Amino acid sequence: MSDMKPSPSASGEGPIQPLSAYRVLNLTDDRGSFCARILADLGADVIKIEPPQGDPSRKLNPFFHNDAHPEKSLFWFAYNANQRGVTLNIEAVEGQKLFKRLAKRAHFVVESFPPGYLDELGLGYSALSQLNPSLIMTSVTAFGQDGPYRGWKASDIVISALSGSMYLAGDPDRAPLRIGGCEQSYLVGSAYAAAGTMLAHYYRLLTGQGQHVDASAVESVSFATMGYYMYQDLEGYVFRRTGNYYDRYGKQVQLTWSCRDGYISWRLFMGGEGRFTRAVVEWMDSEGEAGELKDVKWGDIGYDAVTIEDYNRWTKLFGEFFRKHTKEAIQREALARGFSCFPVNTPKDLMENAQLKARGYWVEVECPEMDGAITAPGPLYQSSEVAWKKPGRPPLLGEHNEEIYRGELGLSREELCLLKQADVI
């Protein structure tokens, strides 16, 4: 990034890790781990605290070489990197004492238990804020800490359903669809939780006061639905899913198209964005394939002004043209000619994507437990002043027990041994 190479600042300092002076206690499972991971990437010293049998997300698909070993879950790997790890049974009295000692000197606690669980153990925000008034505690749950659904059971598909996100996707002749690939809702909830955590952190920076951040996955995903509830509020009707089309004045504006080696996303724009369509027609014309499309004034007509017959005939011509070209060729022309079109990328396409490569996006994470190095997504963003933590693999179960309990809390070898025998650690 030539323009964004860190320039030497007035004080002569280079880029820094913004949260390197802070410690996070991470009690989350898969419902909140992305939140803590973000703080870790920003340089915070994150200590993952797992029950002695391990975080349940160590059992989540997919696994390295399909080996369902607790150190080989790729879900666990993706969202628990860059942290140290200890085991601790916070349901045991001795475990609660140790947790409080850690919380006294921590800056953040992130958790994703069902609402009320930590309060019952005497480790909720009200208890911990007595010990440490500047503590920020962040809770990520399906529905939030209060309300009639507070105690309800949730899963990704149920959150997708209740948030309104699911109703939008899928062909009208079949069931609504959730987003696949990997479960989205708690990741979205966790990212918004991390945003709230950083807002609270800024307020603490100025006032010294901590607070409780209460994030809801349903509300976060609901936000991601492009405001379609507003059709009800403003126009008085329910927006229905339309599968592979947008409905514009009765015309089916197709969104995904077949091409020679897969699929692309493109829209036949008219009016304000008609210039994008004109650019495609110019390409077609350069190959002698534009036909009647050449004569249409794409910028001047709107969807409302054309007949369905014309529209469908034009759609067919574009479709036939795309089928003769590859994803790569179409993307190259889109970039050169300035029209809006992207390939439907597969994981393979993504790993080979030239833009990501040119920006040095992918990072190699050393992981001897998984035969060497793993290629993983890189920085969340780039900045002239941020030095991202060199990515490290997640902690092995109890990997830093000695370092934290003996080194930091000063427990003796005998005490540690006793706590292990009592299943506290």
User: Tokens 């993706």 sit at which residue?
Assistant: 78
Instruction: Give the binding range for other proteins (CB under 8 A) out of 47-55, 92-100, 161-169, 392-400.
Output: 161-169
Near other proteins by CB under 8 A, which window of 116-124, 285-293, 344-352, 396-404?
344-352
Asked if 263 contacts 343 with a C-beta cutoff of 8 angstroms, the reply is yes
Q: Which stretch binds other proteins (CB under 8 A): 89-97, 98-106, 198-206, 402-410?
A: 198-206
What is the closest distance, in whole angstroms, from the C-beta atom of residue 279 to other proteins in the complex?
A: 9
Write the DSSP symbol of residue 153: -
Our finding on whether 1 is near other proteins (CB under 8 A) is: yes
Closer by beta carbon to other proteins, 99 or else 276: 276
Using rule CB under 8 A, residue 409 touches other proteins: no
Sign of the alpha-carbon dihedral angle for 181, 187, 188, 189: positive
| Count of alpha carbons within 13 angstroms of residue 113, beta-carbon side | 21
> Does 368 interact with other proteins (rule: CB under 8 A)?
no
Q: Is 23 in the site for other proteins (CB under 8 A)?
A: no
Using CB under 8 A, which residues numbered 206 to 245 contact other proteins? 207, 209-216, 218-220, 222-235, 238-244
Report phi then psi at 68, rounded to 5. -75, 60
Least distance to other proteins, CB of residue 186, Å: 10
Helix ranges, 224-346 (H): 229-230, 274-286, 308-323, 327-337
Distance between CA 89 and CA 52 in Å, rounded? 6
User: Tell me, what DSSP letter sits at residue 78?
Assistant: H
Can residue 383 be called a binding residue for other proteins (CB under 8 A)? yes
For other proteins, the closer of residues 71 and 156 by Cβ is 156
CA–CA dist 223, 219 (Å, integer): 6
Does position 381 bind other proteins by CB under 8 A? yes
The interface with other proteins within residues 253-292 (CB under 8 A) comprises: 255-256, 258, 263-267, 272-273, 276
Which alpha helices (H) appear in 13-153, and where do they start and end? Answer: 33-41, 74-79, 93-104, 117-120, 125-131
Residue 130 sits in the site that holds other proteins (CB under 8 A): no
Cα-to-chain-centroid distance, residue 387: 21
When the beta carbons of 149 and 399 are compared against other proteins, the nearer one is 149
